[in-house]
Amino acid sequence: MNPTANLCLLRSDPLFGMLRVTYALLNFFRGLLNILTVEVWWGGLQNVLSFFSEKIMANINPIAYIIGDDTVAKVGKMIRNHLNIPCTLIDLSVENRLSTEDGCIEEAVDAIKLCGTGFKESTASDDVRIKAKKMKSANILLRPAMGGYGMARILLNPKTYQKPCGVFRYGHGGIYDVKSHKIENYPQEHALAGEEYIVEQIETNLSGLILAADKAAEIAQEYGFKLFIASKWTIAPFEKIFMDRVTSYWSEKQISYEKRLTDTMMANLPPNTMGDGEFLVFFLNEAGDSGSDVIDVQDGSRSMTSTVYCRGGFCYEELPGGTAPTLLNTDLCGENFFNPYGSINGMVSSVITVNPAAKVWGADVSSKAKKYLAETPNERSTEKMISVLPEFYLV
């Protein structure tokens, strides 16, 4: 039985829990007696520590940890082992996807739902073996299977922007919704007779739009962000529906916002026009993907988080930015430094989601990670940065 199941069993069986606590109390008092008699003080101390340890562990909720590929997987293992975070491991590496014929995707979905949240490392979707099997990106399979309706990508430790900012992507819209396509030739009576053109069928799901609008507004309020919404409502019919429905809803709820054309918004995302930050832009899926990359690259801190929000109240963290295969066999120092901040923040955020008592620890981890980056502008080491972080604890 996996560790998650064991913890769930303890919480769901009152009799078992009472017996375990009673047994632990007996050990506790026996430990005190042993200490007082001095004869076996060490054994007594161990019993006392065991009592408190068992009580703490019974209240810890593990996260689903989704293993990825290349350098990201290597560094992720270093982080989770050092932080000693409670987790259930699910392998979504290329090798395991191939050997299970993507059965591991269903395992990941089950684990995230069981734990209530999770952290997914980047996976190598364009690996030649994945392409040869015509397998889809793990993200494209996992998000809808989880009931994902939107994604927030927030820059939490900005460098160029100076203050946090980000993007909320609706889970549909654009090239991600192409269901079929075919290449045809223009008919003889057409001015371009004989030349090729593509016919595509796009099906964009509207069912989660208001959920996403609510979540985007909630995040903007939480961080004190100025809220924008952007689409090409002047050209594309669906983008007009997106704009009209969201702005009507926000206006009804008296939520402040500004509307922009997608291209104008993209052009103004760099910090020389958007200022210090403190903004959130609500985009459709395709534009949101590009917009978040613009912010990430323009800032340069590699500190962007990526939270997928799902129906049923679930959410999980994704690590953006690829798997960094070229750094896999390096020392991860100096020019080969791999910034683990995104992985660290994603893991910590997931742990806090199901363990609110870990908030102090999470702030401690973030503070020490930021301090390391600030104090080592030149010669950085991934391993050394991880080593300064405090192990998991509850307050």
Helix (H, G, I), strand (E, B) or coil at 249: helix
* Cβ(80)–Cβ(348) below 8 Å: no
- The sign of the torsion formed by the CA atoms of 266, 268, 270, 275 equals negative
* Cβ(88)–Cβ(65) below 8 Å: yes
b/e map 248-280, b = 16+ CB within 10 Å: eebeeeebebeebbbeebbeebebeebeebbbb
Give pLDDT, residue 175: 83
Tell me the per-residue pLDDT of 240-290, one tens digit each, with 9 for 90 and over: 999 999 999 999 999 999 999 999 999 999 887 877 889 999 999 999 999
Closest CA to 308 of 263, 353, 269, 341: 353
* Cβ(157)–Cβ(301) below 8 Å: yes
Distance CA 121, CA 108 (A): 12
Q: Mark the ranges of the chain whose per-residue pLDDT is less than 50.
A: 1-17, 19-20, 38-39, 49, 51-56
Distance CA 150, CA 117 (A): 15
Give pLDDT, residue 34: 58
User: Kind and range of the H or E element at 273?
Assistant: helix 271-274
Q: What is the pTM of this model?
A: 0.81
Give pLDDT, residue 17: 45
Give pLDDT, residue 15: 42
For residue 116, give every residue at least 6 positions away whose Cβ sits within 8 Å of its Cβ, in sequence order, or none.
61, 314, 353, 354
